Amino acid sequence: MYSSRMSTSERLIESTRELLWERGYVGTSPRAILERAGAGQGSMYHHFKGKPDLALAAIRRTAQQMRISAGAVLDGPGTPYERIEAYLLRERDVLRGCPVGRLTMDPDVVASEELRAPVDETLDWLRGRIAGIVEEGVRQGRFAPGLDGEEIATTVVATVQGGYVLARASDSPALFESAVRGLLALLAPPER
């Protein structure tokens, strides 16, 4: 499953990331992590203080990867609308949901200030980045004057996260796609 060049600690982090996304914190047992990583019995405790420490490393990695992938689109070429559109339309595994957003529904992650922090920071970063793009668009006259960047950014993030929930509940990406199309229609610059 993993490259033979990948270190044991890397395999443990990657396995934990996948298991957290699939099963949540409680459902991610040390045994399952070790099995998925192909690691020996004492490996986790050799590299990490225990499951919470390993979960934190995995959550931080997931958050970092989300920032990189979202940032690549949001910082890409195009008008402010086109960059938000590219973010909303980028390829996703809709039925799996968002690996960061799903952590907010995990009571053990939410109850732990330390485990919750990278999730909070990443969602704050995403809202801040989108708010800046909206404000740029307002200044350029590409969005309606008076649009509040922070409110629109919160709406964008809520649409994506809520779209995942609707898609998973219906076992179809159609509702996610519908939510995205609806939001884009509301944000579309007026015809000139």
**Is the pLDDT assigned to residue 192 strictly greater than 70?**
no
- Report the distance separating Cα 33 and Cα 38, nearest Å: 8
- Residue-wise pLDDT tens digits, 15-46: 999 999 999 898 999 999 999 999 888 888 88
- Residue-wise pLDDT tens digits, 113-168: 999 999 999 999 999 999 999 999 999 999 999 999 999 999 999 999 999 999 99
- Report the distance separating Cα 74 and Cα 79, nearest Å: 10
Cβ pair 43, 12 in contact under 8 A: yes
CATH class of 8-187: mainly alpha
Q: What is the pLDDT of residue 148?
A: 97
Mean pLDDT of 88-97: 94
Give me the DSSP letters along the chain: ---TTS-HHHHHHHHHHHHHHHHTTTT--HHHHHHHHT--TTHHHHHSSSHHHHHHHHHHHHHHHHHHHHHHHHTSSS-HHHHHHHHHHS---GGG--TTGGGGG-HHHHH-HHHHHHHHHHHHHHHHHHHHHHHHHHHTTSS-TT--HHHHHHHHHHHHHHHHHHHHHHTSTHHHHHHHHHHHHHHPPPP-
- Report the distance separating Cα 20 and Cα 4, nearest Å: 23
Domain boundaries, the chain: 8-187
Contacts of 163 (CB under 8 A, 6+ apart): 94, 175, 176, 177, 179, 180
